[in-house]
Amino acid sequence: MTATDFSAILPMILIAAASVAVMLAVAVRRHHAVSAAITLLGLALAFAALWPASAVVPRQVTALLLVDRFALFFTGLVIAGTLAVAVLTWSYLSRRQGDHDEMYILLLVSALGAVVLTSASHFASFFLGLELLSVPLYVMIAYLHARKQSVEAALKYMILAGAASAFLLFGMALVYAEMGTLAFAHIAGRLAGSAQGGSLVLLPALALILVGIGFKLAVVPFHMWTPDVYEGAPAPVTAFIATVSKCAVFALMLRLFEGTGAGELPQVSALFDILAIASMVAGNVLALLQRNVKRLLAYSSIAHLGYILVAFQVGGDFGMNAVAFYFVAYFVTLLGAFGIVGALAGPGRDADQIDDYRGLFWRRPLIAGVFTAMLLSLAGIPLTAGFLAKFYVVAAGASTALWLLILTLVVTSGVGVYYYLRVIVALYATETAAGPMPAVPTGAGVVLGVLTAALLFLGVYPGPLLDVIRATVRF
Amino acid sequence: MILLWFIVILLAGGVGAWIAARWSANAARWVALAAVSLDFVLAIQLWISSLGQFDLFRRAVWIRELDVPWVPQLGIHFHLAMDGLSLLMVVLTMFLGILSVLASWREITEGVGFFHWNLMWILAGITSVFVAIDLFLFYFAWELMLIPMYFLIAIWGHGNRTYAALKFFLFTQISGLLMLVSILALAFLHQRATGVFSFQYETLLGTGIAPSTALWIMLGFFVAFAVKMPVFPFHPWLPDAHTEAPTAGSVILAGLMLKTGAYGLIRFVMPLFPDAARQFAPVALALGVVGILYGALLAFGQTDLKRLVAYTSVSHLGFVLVGIFSWNELALQGAVVTMIAHGVSTGGLFVLVGALQERIHTREMARMGGLWATIPRLSGAAMVFALASLGLPGLADFVGEVLVLLGAWENHRLVAVLATVGILAATLYALRFIQRAFHGPNIHQWQLPDLHFREAAVVGSMIAVLLWLGLYPRPVLDTFAPTSERLRQTNMYVRR
């Protein structure tokens, strides 16, 4: 390893160092604010380290990590998302009794796993990153262990994640048996070399790997855990699972399937079509039945992953750019939505029933306005980032004439508007919900303000972000 | 630049009204009124100053234009332009905008600031629809006007408002998405043919598309516009939305939002897909005739006054559809005049029904009867609007419908005959409405205050416009002439 290698992976090093620093600080003296401050500082430095790193890319660091512009874009997104989650966590935990410092260590380790995934170019680093991302999540979900449903959610997630990892490992084993190597680059060479594409061993191997990935992305039919875990986990952790964890795995999937050309095998491509359509349909239809905002957002995020898979199926630069833009919009929107659910949480439970929001506009116009903007963005209404993201996906789909996928997207997102409007109807209802409503903590307020500004800015003037995405998100 | 001002003034007026509501409700109303009045004055001034420019053979098409790159990476421009048709629609928008602010003066007492914010933003959205000629921007504005309208119905509406607002939103949103797919398909086909990726109207005109593909793409646009108009069988949202909306909402829905659909057909469907639209014309004409008769029949059966007026809209917009797809200049002129006339006459009826509801707290005709004795001015005004609606010569609707019928007669005799039956049916529902609500004995012993000054001014100005258009529609036809001429060239119309 040379100094250049180190500057390429500087973001990872800084995040790892921050987690160690929090650990040491806790050993000296527990202090919530200090732990949170170290976490934020570490993440901010890691984000700043993207610039030195971008000076030396693309660079293969050992056989495991390939740091290129693509990796740095998603690393930046993951770090920014984690930063928002960290602030939301601080606001959320400040209101609760108990030891809070471990949460930050877990959050940082999990984020490190996500960053590793964005640069993984080898099955070993893929698995390492995935487990680094997942294992802390088991604890984070059950962090408020006094709540029964949190523990249940954590157990459910752990068992299913274990099963998914088993599928994944079996798939990797088959790949190794077939090719004798675990580097992604060899799959590309192999596929380019063989005339008929995938072999009888490679195709099942890819399918098994897809099961593991599908579980993390929570696409139908691997979505069963999603509503329970989203409901049981503390709101900021839910936000982390919904955004950072999915985005990192998706980045890896792009590299594995798009970068090597494995996604273009007809059988694999058909699988992705099925996943996309099933997610869009099931996610939107099941969301119609929910009375709990967290479960509603869970199904909605399943549907959104379906939309992103449409862009993935387009492939090429256009498709990948659409994926990247959609993820940015998705981050802003979901972090905002879960941020509000967490910010309005009472001491006992999160504000997760639709009825909790009844008439919120007449009591708290500002926070209700922010929530409305987030919901409209999820529904894909103009002036918001979600609109342009959906537009980009439909444009990408139209450019390659994926009419079936586009039609499914249009019809299901029409259905989707209905359940977002149900929440909005509650927000503006003239009769208000009973019970006290806690004030929005300053930290969460700042994050929500920034996210809303980003939402509107991207919805009205997406040019600068598009420039960044076009320059970075390609192989 | 003035085009941008039209929109910015309304947007700012909305924000201003919301802020002003912190001090007093009246301040919010005045701010909104000032903003939309300023726009009205600007629009009238623009109309007068450009009256001389509506020369049939002028080279430049647009009176005013503004083109700024917006998202150059995706070929999207912020491109506004105005020709005679847009100008007429913008003037109508501002006129009805003023009236809807005035009509809500006493009706809306809760959330006044937010109400006026919504009202101003709807008007801004509608104005943008009428002047946007980048297809992306058009779609953007098209969707943008939905949300404030949704709030207007869902918060300040009557009885079953949540259901009505949802239905309205879902119908328009889903049909809008189909239009988005069509817009994108058109842009990509254009790119495949020429290598240029663009959403610009002028660029996309004359894109050579295979006829079968063109028909599908045109249908995407047509469905979106047909839902808004509304064309039978896409109308089920309309009676609910119109009935439950507050007065201002009904006026804007009927007077303006329905017109965006008709405008879209004239501006986009016909010139972009001349052949496909012509091929589709028999179907559209049939739908138009069914709409005329079906709307009139249902209007005749209603006992709720707002529902009655709502169904007459289906009937009148059927005339507009027939006028557009009759494929000649006369009928098209008739369609445009009908659009404006219907906006004013139906808007007037909604204002009066709203005023009546404020006084007797019901819209059921059975609870009325003999009102002429106690509120002669309101009743007389209602009769003028009802007569306009049934097509009495001398009032605006007559001019439009007769032009449509004359035009339709040239190409499609049967359509003209059946549409004429629709006018007959209009006589029945309009007279039944007047007779049951205002004539006869005052069985419920109503003692009501008559129209006061503000209401009388609103209604009086609308009657004046109806008379003006009924007696001297020339300025409107002249203003529309260059647009019509251009359509004649792209769509191979017969001139007379």
pLDDT tens track for A256-267: 998 888 888 888
pLDDT for A20 equals 96
Distances from the Cα of A195 to the Cαs of A189, A192, A199, in angstroms?
A: 12, 8, 10
B199 touching A, CB under 8 A? no
In contact, B433 and B308? CB cutoff 8 Å: yes
Pull the structure tokens for residue A89.
């966590």
Residue A210 has pLDDT above 90, yes or no: yes
pLDDT for B496 equals 46
Q: Which residues does residue A65 pair with via DSSP β-bridges, in sequence order?
A: A61, A120
Residue A48 has pLDDT above 90, yes or no: yes
Q: Which residues does residue B77 pair with via DSSP β-bridges, in sequence order?
A: B69
Q: In B, which residues are within 8 Å of A406 by CB distance?
A: 181
Percent of chain A at pLDDT exceeding 70: 99
pLDDT for A95 equals 86
Nearest-angstrom CA–CA distance, B41 and B216: 42
Residue A435 has pLDDT above 80, yes or no: no
Site from A400, A409, A422, A425 to mutate, B interface, most B CB atoms within 10 angstroms: A425
Higher pLDDT, A196 or A222: A222
Site from A377, A383, A388, A391 to mutate, B interface, most B CB atoms within 10 angstroms: A391
Which of A111-125, A372-386, B439-453 has the least mean pLDDT? Answer: B439-453
- What are B275-304's pLDDT values in tens digits? 888 889 999 999 999 999 999 999 888 888
Nearest-angstrom CA–CA distance, A361 and A426: 9
Asked if the Cβ–Cβ distance from A466 to B73 is below 8 Å, we say: yes
Which residues are within 8 A (CB) of A365 and not within 5 positions of it... i.e. 6 or more apart?
A: none
If DSSP states are collapsed to H, E and C, what string results for chain B?
Answer: CHHHHHHHHHHHHHHHHHHHCCCCHHHHHHHHHHHHHHHHHHHHHHHHHHHHHCCCCCCCCCCEEEEEEEEHHHCEEEEEEECHHHHHHHHHHHHHHHHHHHHCCCCCCCCHHHHHHHHHHHHHHHHHHHHECEHHHHHHHHHHCHHHHHHHHHHHCCCCHHHHHHHHHHHHHHHHHHHHHHHHHHHHHHHHHHCCCCCEHHHHCCCCCCHHHHHHHHHHHHHHHHHHCCCCCCCCHHHHHHHHCCHHHHHHHHHHHHHHHHHHHHHHHHHHCHHHHHHHHHHHHHHHHHHHHHHHHHHHHCCEHHHHHHHHHHHHHHHHHHHHHCCEHHHHHHHHHHHHHHHHHHHHHHHHHHHHHHHHCCCEHHHCCCHHHCCHHHHHHHHHHHHHHCCCCCCHHHHHHHHHHHHHHHHCHHHHHHHHHHHHHHHHHHHHHHHHHHCCCCCCCCCCCCCCHHHHHHHHHHHHHHHHHHHCCHHHHHHHHHHHHHHHHHHCCECC
Q: What is the mean pLDDT of residues A359-374?
A: 90
Degrees, nearest 5: CA angle B318-B322-B325: 135
Amino acid at A238: T
Nearest-angstrom CA–CA distance, B36 and B251: 15
Q: What is the mean pLDDT of residues A140-148?
A: 88
Work out the pLDDT band at A450, boundaries 50, 70, 90: very high
Q: What is the mean pLDDT of residues A297-319?
A: 94
Q: Is the dihedral of CA B220, B224, B230, B233 positive or negative?
A: positive
Number of C-beta neighbours around residue A17 at 10 A: 15
What ipTM describes this predicted complex? Answer: 0.88
pLDDT for A88 equals 95
Nearest-angstrom CA–CA distance, B330 and A146: 77
Work out the pLDDT band at A73, boundaries 50, 70, 90: very high
pLDDT for B493 equals 59
Residue A334 has pLDDT above 90, yes or no: yes
Asked if the Cβ–Cβ distance from A425 to B166 is below 8 Å, we say: yes
Distances from the Cα of B188 to the Cαs of A216, A315, B203, B216, in angstroms?
A: 34, 17, 12, 14
B15 touching A, CB under 8 A? no
Asked if the Cβ–Cβ distance from B181 to A410 is below 8 Å, we say: yes
Residue A432 has pLDDT above 80, yes or no: no
Q: What is the mean pLDDT of residues A284-308?
A: 93
Q: In B, which residues are within 8 Å of A421 by CB distance?
A: 150, 166, 169
Question: Collapsing DSSP states into helix, strand and coil, what is residue A473?
Answer: coil
Number of inter-chain CB pairs under 8 A, A vs B: 72
DSSP category for residue A384: S
In contact, B333 and B406? CB cutoff 8 Å: no
Q: Which residues does residue A60 pair with via DSSP β-bridges, in sequence order?
A: A66
Nearest CA in chain B to A409: B177
Number of C-beta neighbours around residue A359 at 10 A: 17
- Residue B404 C-alpha from the chain's centroid: 17
Is the peptide bond prior to A221 cis by the omega test (within 30 degrees of 0)?
yes
Q: End-to-end distance of chain B based on CA atoms, in angstroms?
A: 37
pLDDT for A453 equals 96
DSSP category for residue A402: -
Which residues are within 8 A (CB) of A260 and not within 5 positions of it... i.e. 6 or more apart?
A: A184, A185, A187, A188, A191
Which one, of B301, B336, B288, B268, lies nearest residue B479 by Cα?
Answer: B336
Pull the structure tokens for residue A450.
């920034």
Asked if the Cβ–Cβ distance from A382 to B72 is below 8 Å, we say: no
Distance from CA of B21 to the nearest CA of A (A): 14
Pull the structure tokens for residue B39.
């726009």
Please state the φ and ψ torsions of residue A30, each to the nearest 5 degrees.
-75, 125
Which of A194-198, A413-417, B102-106, B450-454 has the least mean pLDDT? Answer: A194-198
Pull the structure tokens for residue B333.
């002129």
Nearest CA in chain A to B154: A425
Which one, of A231, A359, A350, A354, lies nearest residue A301 by Cα?
Answer: A231
Number of C-beta neighbours around residue B56 at 10 A: 11
Distances from the Cα of B166 to the Cαs of A466, B110, B170, in angstroms?
A: 34, 21, 6
Asked if the Cβ–Cβ distance from A425 to B162 is below 8 Å, we say: yes
In contact, A335 and A403? CB cutoff 8 Å: no
Kind and range of the H or E run holding A450? helix A442-460
Please state the φ and ψ torsions of residue B327, each to the nearest 5 degrees.
65, 40
Distances from the Cα of B379 to the Cαs of A408, A444, B129, B456, in angstroms?
A: 52, 58, 35, 12
Q: In A, which residues are within 8 Å of B141 by CB distance?
A: 382
Nearest-angstrom CA–CA distance, B299 and B295: 6
Nearest-angstrom CA–CA distance, B17 and B31: 5
Cα torsion B10, B16, B22, B23 to 10°: value is -110
Asked if the Cβ–Cβ distance from B170 to A411 is below 8 Å, we say: no
A406 touching B, CB under 8 A? yes
Residue A198 has pLDDT above 70, yes or no: no
Candidates B154, B173, B184; nearest CB to A394: B184
Which one, of A131, A134, A127, A83, lies nearest residue A104 by Cα?
Answer: A83
Pull the structure tokens for residue A428.
């503006």
Percent of chain A at pLDDT exceeding 90: 67
Global confidence as pTM: 0.92
Q: Give chain A's length.
A: 475
Residue B458 has pLDDT above 60, yes or no: yes
Nearest-angstrom CA–CA distance, A43 and A77: 12
Work out the pLDDT band at B56, boundaries 50, 70, 90: low
Amino acid at A299: Y
In contact, A22 and A108? CB cutoff 8 Å: yes
Which one, of A297, A339, A350, lies nearest residue A448 by Cα?
Answer: A339
pLDDT for B58 equals 58
- Residue A308 C-alpha from the chain's centroid: 12
Which one, of A204, A182, A82, lies nearest residue A126 by Cα?
Answer: A182
B195 touching A, CB under 8 A? no
Which residues are within 8 A (CB) of B137 and not within 5 positions of it... i.e. 6 or more apart?
A: B70, B76, B77, B78, B79, B80, B128, B199
Q: Is the dihedral of CA A168, A169, A170, A174 positive or negative?
A: positive
pLDDT for B71 equals 87
Nearest-angstrom CA–CA distance, A117 and A86: 20
